[in-house]
Amino acid sequence: MVRNVLVALDESQASRAALDYALRGVLPRPAGAANLHLVTVLPTVQTPIAVPPMASAAAMNVLHCQWGAQQQANHARAHELLRKMSEVAVNDYRTPAESVHRHALPALGGASGVGQSLVEAAAKLRADVLVLGTRGMGALQASLMTLMGLGSVSDYCLHNARCPVMVVRQSKDTVLGAEASPPAVHAPPPKRVMVCTDDSPHAKKALQWYLDCLVMPNDHLHLVSVALLPPALPLDEPAVVAAVEEMAADEEARGVVSDTASTVACAQQQALAHGVLRTRVATAVLAPEPGVSDVGQALCSYARDKNVGLAVVGSRGLGMWQRSVMGALGLGSVSDFLSRHLPCALLVVKDGGARRESHEESGMLLQRVPEEDRELMGGADAKDDGKQDGELGGAAVVDHGKQD
């Protein structure tokens, strides 16, 4: 069962869509059975640097005042954002105020400072799942953003977070503000969930994690697998030899389809043993489709045809260099392809992602914020909150467990 849900927030519509999805379909009911951690990452404020005697003391003082004013403005915007989103959780979704926790964190260094802050926060808070929105950039846009030093936060979290990561695309009807109609929260809405299965350990772990932590009584479960058929090679042989080789290829293809169907059937039995009704479980064996990722393309087409609301996929958790080598060999990551092309939310469960590690074992420590920053961020409430430094290793926490 999910105990700690971390939702990454900013001022985008994709972020609001992620919060709505987490409150509707991730947090267990009854409300208050899990902790909801709302996290936002402060933008980096560059420290002005001037070398005397080119800059006078008065000029340096002006620069320092401007830097401090920008810091205060960033802190105030983060405080207001977290306050509004916590009100959405409490007022619209009836989440108990004591189970909603708000955190504002500094952006760490590296290629994705925001992503690194979220990954380390997930580790320190022992998050069971990290939920964040995505703008839905394609592969070319993502590559260009990476070259410009503006890498995708969702990509970084998918590749580096140890806990399962849910990426939610913003919907066209996402509304920011109080004019959104309050949802009915008495029962979670039914949803179609596509679980991608094969005979790999990470795919089995993804299905098990979904059944243990996220399955709802009224979910419609689609267990799908792509049969990787042997390539059809051109035959430049005599007619008799060509016919024999073609029969052998057909026999091999039937064996692959049969093995894939057996894998899906085993996954179905696993779901039924967990209590999912047989009438709510559908199975499908898909043929690969032409494209950059034959497996990923087939899964995206199925998700569109069946109007899937959530896709669950396992990941081997390859590092950057391993992913680069696999991509050069034409064996790109299926989870990467799905994160950019799926029309629905995506949950990625890494092999070993369900392990609970302490921050001493993982070596992840959040950057300590200077004392003056904590006072600017939390004000008088932060000073009075004794849990501020204990929970996130000294990172700034805004009104932990309080509502304005």
**Mean predicted confidence (pLDDT) in 331-341:** 78
Spell 59-86 as b/e; 16+ CB within 10 A means b.
eeeeeeeeeeeebeebbebbbebbbbbb
Given a contact cutoff of 8 angstroms between Cβ atoms, the answer to whether 300 and 139 are in contact is no
Both tokens of residue 371? 């004392």
Poorest-pLDDT segment among 10-19, 131-140, 197-206: 131-140
402 has a pLDDT exceeding 60:
no
**Mean predicted confidence (pLDDT) in 388-395:** 43
The Cα 269–Cα 258 span in angstroms is 17
| Rounded to 5°, angle at Cα 176 from 142 and 216 | 80
Residue given tokens 């921050």 in the structure block: 359
Confidence of residue 371 (pLDDT cuts 50, 70, 90): very low
**pLDDT (tens digit per residue) in 273-285:** 999 999 899 999 9
- pTM over cut 0.85: no
At 383, is the secondary structure helix, strand, or coil?
helix
Share the mean pLDDT of the chain.
Answer: 75
Confidence of residue 37 (pLDDT cuts 50, 70, 90): very high
Instruction: Name the percent of the chain lying above pLDDT 90.
Output: 38
Residue given tokens 């932990």 in the structure block: 400
**pLDDT (tens digit per residue) in 313-325:** 998 765 554 544 4
Poorest-pLDDT segment among 36-40, 186-190, 201-205, 273-277: 186-190
Both tokens of residue 96? 């108990």
One-letter amino acid at 299 equals L
At 401, is the secondary structure helix, strand, or coil?
coil
For 60, residues 6+ apart whose C-beta sits below 8 A from its C-beta are: 48, 50
For 313, residues 6+ apart whose C-beta sits below 8 A from its C-beta are: 195, 196, 203, 206, 299, 334, 335, 338, 346, 347, 348, 349
362 has a pLDDT exceeding 60:
no
Residue of higher predicted confidence among 109 and 348: 348
**pLDDT (tens digit per residue) in 200-248:** 899 999 999 999 999 988 899 999 999 987 766 555 566 655 666 667 7
Domains and CATH numbers, the chain: 1-183+368-404 (3.40.50.620), 190-364 (3.40.50.620)
DSSP-assigned beta bridge partners for residue 315: 350
